[in-house]
Amino acid sequence: MLTFLGILVAVWIVDWTIVFKVWPDGIDRLRSILAADLARGRALAAWQGGVPGVVTETANSLYAIVFRFTGIHDMGMRFAEGAAHSIPDTIVRNTYLANIEGIEVAMIGTQLLGVRIATLALLAPILVLIYIVAGADGLTQRAIRRASGGRESASLYHRAKHLQVALMATGLLICLFWPGSVDVRWIGLPLAATLAILTRLQWAYYKKHL
């Protein structure tokens, strides 16, 4: 939970920095990125034979957890009505309105994070399948090499294993934190190919006897 909260806050910080300091069109560009990534995610879900709505539902659910359950969404709706408020409410309203653009960026960024999490989840079965196939091929090569009197290599095994973790973490961070529009297929396909090579290498040089 704390890890996820850390990721969410880090995403907000990246979005705030890019929107207010880098992009001339600011929040409008972030909205267009959300729309583009959502369209790609829904298309990927449909291509896999799934339900495109799962991407939208994930984004909306994450938004609801962060902003609806905490009352921030309802607070904004109430303040937008312009009705008379008590003095404490007026202070809160003025503070809210003074930071409304930052709050809106956080809201859009949260939905964008939900879209990307759902899209990455769609790639998970493919990556698992590749890992299983490559691992089986690597173990087969190990058995052949052992039968021929070849050596295992603990060094290659551990290097391949650690590189897989680093590769997956890097790909995940790029997908979640990249401030521009992300087509996960352009990240997922090279990631899958490299994962297959490293997985095969890992299990082909597995040192211990199974």
Q: Tell me the pLDDT tens digit for each residue of 67-126.
A: 988 888 777 777 666 654 565 667 777 777 778 899 999 999 999 999 999 999 998 888
209 domain residue, yes or no: no
18 domain residue, yes or no: yes
Runs of H (alpha helix) within the chain: 2-21, 26-47, 53-63, 72-80, 87-98, 100-147, 154-177, 184-204
Cβ-based burial of 155 (10 A; exposed 0-12, middle 13-18, buried ≥19): exposed
CA distance 13 to 187: 23
Tally of structural domains, the chain: 1
C-beta of residue 187 within 8 angstroms of C-beta of residue 171: yes
Q: What is the pLDDT of residue 187?
A: 85
Measured N-to-C along each axis, helices 100-147 and 72-80 cross at an angle, to the nearest 10 degrees, of 150
Structure tokens at 124: 């998970």
The domain containing residue 47 runs over which residues?
Answer: 2-204
Length of the chain measured in residues: 210
DSSP classification of residue 65:
I
pTM of the predicted model as reported, rounded to 2 decimal places? 0.86
Residue 145: alpha-carbon gap to chain centroid: 39
Mean pLDDT of 178-186: 86
Mean pLDDT of 49-56: 85
210 domain residue, yes or no: no
First CA to last CA across the chain, in angstroms? 36
100 domain residue, yes or no: yes
160 domain residue, yes or no: yes
60 domain residue, yes or no: yes
In the predicted structure, residue 144 carries a pLDDT above the cut 80:
yes
Residue 1: alpha-carbon gap to chain centroid: 15
DSSP states along 24-47: TTHHHHHHHHHHHHHHHHHHHHHH
Q: What is the mean pLDDT of the chain?
A: 86
In the predicted structure, residue 152 carries a pLDDT above the cut 70:
no
